[in-house]
C-alpha cells in the first residue's frame, strides 16, 4: 500500500536542477503538488509534463529572496490543495568562487534562499501540521554542509545551518506526528551547477544523480530518519574525522582532490594576467 498517495506537497525550486526529478517521482507516487519557482513559463512546462499522472498539479511563482512573498506562497499552496502535508525545501543557490570575489548581494541572496526561506516557510506551515498530528518537512541540504567546501564557503555555510536547524527541529518534534528529514547529496551529476560547467567530480569524492536524490526524498517519506546522505562514496568516516580533527579532515580532503577540483572551477579567462 502506498502511504503517500493522496498527500499534498509544496515543492520549492521545482524547475531548476534536481527539482523536476523530485516533482516527477512524487507525482508518480500519487502525491498532489504545488510547484514553486521564479519563472512562470518553466512552471507551466513542468506542470504540462506531469499532467499524465493521476494527481493534481498546481503552480505558484515566488522569489524566495523576497521575504514578503513567502506567506503568499504558503497561503496560495494551501488554497490550491486545501492543506499541505509535505513541505520540500529544495530551492537553493550555489556558486563556486573565492569568497573575496563573491558579490555581497549574491551572499545575501544565498542566505535568504538557502536558510531564511526554509525556516520561515516551515514556521508558516508547521502549526497546521501539528494540529493534525501529521506532516513532513524535507530540506535538501548538501554534504557541503557537513564537510567544509572551499571556494563555496557561503553555500557550505548556509547548508550547514540548514542541516543543524533541521536536526534540531527533528529532535523537538518527536512524538508530535510531524517528521523532519534533511537530504544531503554529494556532487550531483547531470543537473545543477556541475552539469552546467560540464565537469565531473574526481572519483575519489563520489557523486550522485538527480534521480538518486529524488529517490531519497521518497525514501524519507516512508521513514523518520533525520538525515539521508546521497553519495556513491562513503562520507561518514570523513565526517567523523572532521568532528575529531578539522585539520586532519581538511588535509585528507585536499589529498582526495577536493581543493584542486573546486579551485579549477573558479578560473576566469583573465586569471592568467593576475599571477
- Asked if the structure places residue 271 within a domain, the reply is no
Residue 203 lies in domain: 8-235
pLDDT greater than 50 at residue 34: yes
In angstroms, rounded to a whole number, what is the distance separating the alpha carbons of residues 15 and 91? 9
pLDDT value, residue 270: 40
| Residue 144: all three cell numbers together | 557541503
- Asked if the structure places residue 144 within a domain, the reply is yes
Tally of domains within the chain: 1
pLDDT value, residue 189: 87
pLDDT greater than 80 at residue 198: no
Active site residues: 155
pLDDT value, residue 273: 30
The confidence band for 264, taking pLDDT boundaries of 50, 70 and 90, is: confident
- Asked if the structure places residue 195 within a domain, the reply is yes
Q: Write a three-state SS string for the chain.
A: CCCCCCCEEEECCCCCCCHHHHHHHHHHCCCEEEEEECCHHHHHHHHHHCCCCCCCEEEEECCCCCCHHHHHHHHHHHHHHCCCCEEEECCCCCCCCCHHHCCHHHHHHHHHHHHHHHHHHHHHHHHHHHHHCCEEEEEECCHHHCCCCCCCHHHHHHHHHHHHHHHHHHHHCCCCCEEEEEEEECCECCCCHHHHHCCCCCHHHCCECHHHHHHHHHHHHCCCCCEEEECCCCCHHHHHHHHHCHHHHHHHHHHCCHHHHHHHCCCCCCHHHHC
Give the model confidence (pLDDT) of 38-77 as tens digits. Answer: 999 999 999 998 987 789 999 999 999 998 999 999 999 9
- Asked if the structure places residue 270 within a domain, the reply is no
Residue with the bigger pLDDT between 206 and 75: it is 75
Give the model confidence (pLDDT) of 133-169 as tens digits. Answer: 999 999 999 999 999 899 999 999 999 999 999 999 9
- Asked if the structure places residue 265 within a domain, the reply is no
Lowest model confidence (mean pLDDT) among 96-105, 167-176, 203-212: 203-212
Task: Name the average pLDDT for the chain.
Answer: 91
- Asked if the structure places residue 275 within a domain, the reply is no
pLDDT value, residue 194: 66
**Domain harbouring 89, CATH code:** 3.40.50.720
pLDDT value, residue 269: 42
pLDDT greater than 70 at residue 228: yes
pLDDT greater than 50 at residue 121: yes
pLDDT value, residue 190: 74
- Asked if the structure places residue 248 within a domain, the reply is no
- Asked if the structure places residue 257 within a domain, the reply is no
pLDDT greater than 70 at residue 2: no
Amino acid at each position: 500500500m502506498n502511504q503517500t498517495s493522496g498527500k499534498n506537497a509544496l515543492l520549492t525550486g521545482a524547475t531548476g536542477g534536481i527539482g523536476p526529478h523530485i516533482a516527477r517521482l512524487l507525482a508518480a507516487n500519487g502525491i498532489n503538488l504545488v510547484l514553486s519557482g521564479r519563472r512562470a513559463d518553466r512552471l507551466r512546462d513542468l506542470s504540462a509534463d506531469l499532467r499524465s499522472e493521476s494527481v493534481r498539479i498546481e503552480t505558484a511563482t515566488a522569489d524566495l529572496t523576497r521575504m514578503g512573498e513567502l506567506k503568499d506562497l504558503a497561503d496560495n499552496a494551501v488554497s490550491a490543495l486545501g492543506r499541505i502535508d509535505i513541505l520540500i525545501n529544495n530551492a537553493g543557490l550555489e556558486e563556486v568562487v573565492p569568497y573575496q570575489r563573491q558579490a555581497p548581494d549574491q551572499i545575501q541572496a544565498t542566505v535568504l534562499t538557502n536558510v531564511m526561506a526554509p525556516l520561515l516557510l516551515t514556521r508558516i506551515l508547521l502549526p497546521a501540521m501539528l494540529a493534525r498530528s501529521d506532516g513532513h518537512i524535507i530540506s535538501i541540504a548538501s554534504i557541503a554542509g557537513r564537510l567544509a567546501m572551499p571556494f563555496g564557503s557561503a553555500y557550505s555555510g548556509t547548508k550547514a545551518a540548514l542541516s543543524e536547524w533541521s536536526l534540531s527541529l527533528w529532535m523537538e518534534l518527536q512524538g508530535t506526528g510531524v517528521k523532519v528529514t534533511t537530504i544531503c547529496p554529494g556532487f550531483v551529476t547531470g543537473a545543477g551547477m556541475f552539469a552546467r560547467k560540464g565537469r565531473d567530480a574526481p572519483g575519489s569524492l563520489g557523486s550522485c544523480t538527480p534521480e538518486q536524490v529524488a529517490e531519497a526524498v521518497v525514501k524519507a517519506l516512508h521513514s523518520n530518519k533525520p538525515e539521508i546522505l546521497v553519495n556513491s562514496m562513503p562520507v561518514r568516516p570523513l565526517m567523523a574525522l572532521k568532528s575529531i580533527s578539522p585539520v586532519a579532515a581538511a588535509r585528507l580532503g585536499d589529498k582526495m582532490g577536493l581543493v584542486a577540483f573546486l579551485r579549477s572551477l573558479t578560473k576566469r579567462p583573465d586569471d592568467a594576467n593576475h599571477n
